[in-house]
């Protein structure tokens, strides 16, 4: 940016920018500086857009309204939300896609902007059916195609019919082969240098600008031809939508495994280094492709998984859109009553399930609303700790309040993957808060040393209680122990209701409710911790024994 232009812009900020003359001049300067300093120019355009929006509402000014749209047009190639605004600026407000749904979809739009801006490599989106998740992604791909018409992206789903719909919708949004007087959207105004080179309904391919062996966008079912026919460039996207066909397919482990292998060997195989991914789908099962990707990358900050359930924590619909669009709370509550619980949880609440083999299914566990019974009925407070030292395992330490009604209320749960420098201060702090009478630590793998450290630190805080540690016997497997005490856990423990749990409690419950008695569990820390607490409640924790001669 020249020093002269910078001084002019700084001078304009000393003027009254609620005057259309000066606000327009600032936008003109921003447009002229776009090629020299794009971030700075966009910053000025955004400022003008805010001023114009406010003044057009306050003064009912046509001039400021026009200035708002001029600023939005400048921003649209670089800002996905502004692209959505400008695309539909002349549509009847009741027929627009984005604005009536903005209060819910805004977070998705921001996520997709982060994906395009290079903050993410992968974005997974799960929402109930017919709430706009696929449409917002098609708009996103249209924006990408306008930004980089010579890149290569691909979209896939469980069938060719699904791909047909995406191909048609992408063409309809861009309207590059429609007469100008028949267009609904403003794609050509936003990207005036982008044009349709060719299209193929048979191959479901759209090629923009310069001819290339590979299309700008290819839409093809997972069962279509990919090898040698599709390339996804380093600046392109792999967009996968609904890899699992339906509920029936989601209940078959072998089919889910097949879908995941298809995803890896057919779709991912077409990516180049740098290709980003966008995956959308109903979270039917923890073993579906989106679930597998999340499981493998849940701690990677460059992977983001957005789940928006039908009903929020207040049991209210997240999808009440303007102009009577979307779905009301009453609609979803009636749907919840009619559907099988697991299907409702998966399809509408985005909580994937495994039906067979769950040892602690969510609906078999008792909960309470966070309010404990009167203290007069409290018998004791106790806790048990499955010690971990980091490295992927979690220290699991549920806190129980036993009352004379026969129940143990799990009021808190430490569930942390940190090493001892992270977890020990938390354990000490929670102990001083809950003030239990007894604490037990599993002594295996240095757990007894961990218990000694906690005991020392508590004594330094002038707090003492019964702290014990013992090693698990090698005569009973951990799984057998968990299975043995599972009925008692379900009968006597009451867990915090979902909307009362903090993040660690949530993570512990997620792991506990996905624990299977047949098959492989990646982690058993939650189940082990809660089992140890039940054993302590019953006075059945293992003790060391030594053989000796009878004294008589």
- What pLDDT shows up at residue 182? 86
Closest CA to 249 of 158, 340, 166, 163: 158
Helices (H), 117-209: 133-147, 160-174, 187-190
* Distances from the Cα of 201 to the Cα of 15, 149, 237, angstroms: 55, 19, 20
Residue 194's contacts (CB-CB under 8 Å, 6 or more residues apart) are 145, 146, 149, 176, 187, 188, 208, 209
Query: How many Å apart are CA 172 and CA 277, to the nearest integer?
Result: 23
Instruction: With beta carbons less than 8 A apart as the criterion, state whether 176 and 186 touch.
Output: no
User: Residue 313, CB half-sphere, CA atoms under 13 Å: how many?
Assistant: 6
- What pLDDT shows up at residue 253? 66
- What pLDDT shows up at residue 42? 96
Mean pLDDT, all residues of the chain:
90
- What pLDDT shows up at residue 550? 40
Q: Chain centroid to CA 503: how far?
A: 14
Residue 248's contacts (CB-CB under 8 Å, 6 or more residues apart) are none
311: left (phi over 0), alpha (psi -120 to 50) or beta: beta
Structure tokens at 269: 């195989």
* Distances from the Cα of 374 to the Cα of 139, 140, 378, 404, 547, angstroms: 56, 55, 7, 10, 46
Given a cut of 80, whether residue 371 has pLDDT beyond it is yes
Buried b (16+ CB within 10 A) or exposed e, 326-346: bbebeebeebbeeeeebebbb
Given a cut of 80, whether residue 277 has pLDDT beyond it is yes
Strand order in the sheet with 217-219: 196-200, 205-208, 217-219, 153-156, 237-241, 276-280, 122-126, 303-307
Level-2 CATH architecture, domain 98-306: 3-Layer(aba) Sandwich (3.40)
- In this prediction the pTM is 0.69
Tell me the backbone φ, ψ of residue 442, rounded to 5 degrees.
-70, 130
- What pLDDT shows up at residue 545? 38
Vertex 380 angle, CA 383 and 410, to 5°: 50
Vertex 326 angle, CA 320 and 327, to 5°: 75
- Residue 58, Cβ density class (10 Å: 0-12 exposed, 13-18 middle, ≥19 buried): exposed
Instruction: With beta carbons less than 8 A apart as the criterion, state whether 197 and 207 touch.
Output: yes
CATH 3.30.420.240 fits 362-537, yes or no: yes
pLDDT digits (tens, 9 = 90+) for 43-88: 999 999 999 999 999 988 999 999 999 999 999 999 999 999 999 9
Residue 521's contacts (CB-CB under 8 Å, 6 or more residues apart) are 514, 515, 527
Closest CA to 278 of 313, 314, 309, 232: 232
pLDDT category at 356 given cuts 50, 70, 90 is low
Residue appearing with tokens 């309470």: 368
Buried b (16+ CB within 10 A) or exposed e, 399-416: bbbbbeeebbbbbbbbbb
Which of 96-110, 222-236, 403-417, 530-544 shows the lowest mean pLDDT across its residues? 530-544
Query: How many Å apart are CA 64 and CA 407, to the nearest integer?
Result: 65
pLDDT digits (tens, 9 = 90+) for 138-185: 999 999 999 999 999 999 988 888 889 999 999 999 999 888 888 999
Residue 313's contacts (CB-CB under 8 Å, 6 or more residues apart) are 498, 499
- What pLDDT shows up at residue 543? 42
Q: What is the 3-state secondary structure (H, E, C) of 278-291?
A: EEECCCCCCCCHHH
For 369, other C-beta atoms within 10 Å of its C-beta total: 10
Instruction: With beta carbons less than 8 A apart as the criterion, state whether 42 and 75 touch.
Output: yes
pLDDT digits (tens, 9 = 90+) for 451-461: 999 999 999 99
């Amino acid at each position: 940016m020249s020093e002269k232009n910078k001084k002019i812009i700084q001078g304009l900020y000393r003027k009254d920018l609620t005057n259309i003359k000066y606000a327009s001049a600032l936008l003109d300067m921003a447009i002229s500086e776009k090629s020299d300093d794009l971030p700075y120019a966009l910053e000025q355009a955004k400022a003008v857009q805010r001023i114009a929006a406010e003044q057009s509402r306050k003064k009912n000014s046509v001039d400021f309204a026009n200035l708002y749209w001029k600023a939005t047009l400048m921003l649209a190639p670089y800002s996905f939300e502004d692209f959505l605004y400008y695309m539909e600026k002349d549509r009847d407000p009741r027929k627009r896609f984005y604005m009536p749904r903005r209060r819910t979809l805004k977070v998705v739009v921001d996520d997709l902007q982060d994906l395009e801006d290079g903050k993410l490599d992968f974005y997974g989106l799960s929402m109930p059916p017919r709430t706009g998740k696929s449409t917002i992604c098609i708009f996103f791909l249209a924006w990408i195609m306008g930004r980089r018409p010579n890149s290569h992206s691909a979209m896939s789903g469980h069938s060719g019919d699904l791909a047909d719909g995406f191909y048609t919708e992408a063409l309809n949004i861009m309207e590059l082969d429609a007469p100008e007087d028949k267009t609904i959207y403003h794609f050509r105004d936003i990207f005036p240098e982008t044009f349709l080179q060719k299209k193929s309904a048979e191959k479901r391919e759209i090629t923009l600008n310069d001819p290339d062996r590979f299309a700008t966008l290819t839409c093809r079912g997972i069962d279509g031809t990919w090898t040698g026919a599709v390339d996804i460039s380093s600046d392109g996207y792999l967009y996968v939508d609904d890899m699992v066909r339906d509920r029936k397919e989601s209940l078959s482990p072998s089919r889910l495994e097949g879908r995941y292998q298809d995803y890896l060997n057919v779709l991912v195989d077409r990516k180049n280094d740098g290709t980003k991914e966008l995956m959308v789908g109903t979270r039917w099962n923890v073993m579906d492709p989106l679930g597998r990707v999340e499981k493998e990358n849940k701690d990677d900050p460059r992977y983001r998984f957005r789940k928006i359930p039908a009903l929020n924590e207040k049991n209210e619909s997240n999808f009440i859109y303007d102009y009577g669009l979307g779905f009301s709370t009453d609609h979803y509550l009636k749907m919840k009553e009619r559907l099988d619980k697991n299907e409702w949880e998966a399809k509408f609440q985005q909580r994937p399930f495994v039906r067979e083999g769950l040892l602690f299914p969510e609906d078999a566990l008792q909960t309470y609303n966070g309010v404990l019974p009167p203290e007069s009925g409290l018998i004791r407070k106790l806790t048990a700790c499955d010690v971990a030292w980091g490295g992927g395992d979690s220290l699991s330490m549920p806190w129980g309040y036993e009352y004379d009604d026969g129940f143990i209320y799990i009021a808190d749960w430490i569930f942390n993957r940190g090493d001892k420098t992270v977890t020990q201060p938390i354990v000490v702090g929670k102990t001083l808060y809950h003030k239990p009478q007894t604490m037990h630590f599993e002594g295996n793998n240095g757990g007894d040393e961990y218990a000694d450290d906690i005991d020392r630190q508590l004594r330094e805080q002038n707090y003492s209680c019964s702290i014990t540690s013992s090693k698990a016997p090698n005569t009973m497997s951990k799984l057998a122990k968990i299975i043995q005490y599972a009925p008692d856990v379900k009968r006597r423990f009451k867990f915090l209701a979902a909307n009362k749990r903090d993040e660690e409690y949530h993570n512990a419950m997620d792991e506990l409710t996905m624990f299977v008695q047949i098959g492989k569990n990646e982690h058993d820390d939650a189940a082990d911790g809660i089992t140890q607490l039940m054993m302590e409640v019953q006075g059945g924790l293992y003790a060391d024994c030594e053989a000796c001669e009878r004294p008589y």
